Amino acid sequence: MFDYTARPDLLAGRVILVTGAGRGIGAAAAKAYAAHGATVLLLGKNEENLNRVYDEIEAAGHPQPAVIPFDLETAHPNQYDELAAMVEREFGRLDGLLHNASILGPRMLLEQITGEQFAQVMQVNVNAAFLLTKTQLPLLKLSADASVIFTSSSVGRKGRAFWGAYAVSKFATEGLMQVLADEVEGVSAVRANSVNPGATRTSMRALAYPGESPEKKPLPEAIMPVYLYLMGPDSKGVNGQAFDAQ
């Protein structure tokens, strides 16, 4: 596991947007950020899931989060502009953006995947992250210390049979991170890095490995050290790097 211990007030006063915050790794990250003092903007498709995370954060007495129901597959580019306008109006800036939401798509040979299936995975995993990055960047630049985290995978660093569009989308995610990191280097207080969570006990993992005993893999809460490190001031100056959570 990535070796880092976050102090309790690590993210005090920061405004952090997390995609896919309703369940899995995104929910754990949203709760960890709130527990360390951040105001977390919970973005996801399923509002019920987001509300559950909202209630947990509120019940724990952490800063009041915000719920943003948003479908990354179908949202029109205008909706990204409207989202940025809302964040600016309500919060005035953004200090952190965790691109976590993704879909697995079909696990089959490339020759079996339809164009539609391929495009759907690229839409959620890559195009949406591009549009969100692009529209939130002006707000991230208003922060004194802003961090963008992209979520990769081991198949985003070395391709593997049957991982199809998902693997390709994670290579593209690393590319997006590297281009952004190079563009912000030395000219703003924004940094960008990627995290490969490694095998983690979520519904996506169960979908990818139906035969595996889930209890053998760590819960999302266990892989939070790198997510906290990269989001907080201790990683200032760290830019364009690919991290492993485990």
CB of 128 to ligand NAP, least distance (A): 7
Contact pick of 126, 131, 204, 226 for ligand NAP (by CB under 6 A): 204
Helix (H, G, I), strand (E, B) or coil at 53: helix
- Which of the stretches 67-75, 84-92, 130-138, 139-147 binds ligand NAP when contact is defined by CB under 6 A? 67-75
Closest CA to 28 of 39, 15, 14, 42: 42
CB of 186 to ligand NAP, least distance (A): 29
Q: Which of 166, 209, 227, 229 is catalytic?
A: 166
> Based on CB atoms, which residue is closest to ligand NAP, 189 or 208?
208
Residue 209 annotated as catalytic: no
Q: How far apart are CA 31 and CA 154, in angstroms?
A: 25
> Based on CB atoms, which residue is closest to ligand NAP, 143 or 202?
202
Q: How far apart are CA 212 and CA 27, in angstroms?
A: 23
> Based on CB atoms, which residue is closest to ligand NAP, 79 or 188?
79
Contact pick of 86, 203, 212, 214 for ligand NAP (by CB under 6 A): 203
The Cα angle at residue 54 between residues 7 and 8, in degrees rounded to 5: 5
- Which of the stretches 17-25, 30-38, 81-89, 179-187 binds ligand NAP when contact is defined by CB under 6 A? 17-25
Q: How far apart are CA 202 and CA 211, in angstroms?
A: 14
Helix (H, G, I), strand (E, B) or coil at 195: strand
71 binds ligand NAP (CB under 6 A): yes
| 171 CB-near residues (< 8 Å, 6+ apart) | 156, 157, 159
Q: Do 36 and 28 contact (CB within 8 A), yes or no?
A: no
Q: How far apart are CA 202 and CA 186, in angstroms?
A: 37
212 binds ligand NAP (CB under 6 A): no
22 binds ligand NAP (CB under 6 A): yes
Enzyme catalytic residues: 166
Residues that bind ligand NAP (CB under 6 A): 20, 22-26, 44-46, 49, 71-73, 100-103, 124, 151, 153, 197, 199-200, 202-205
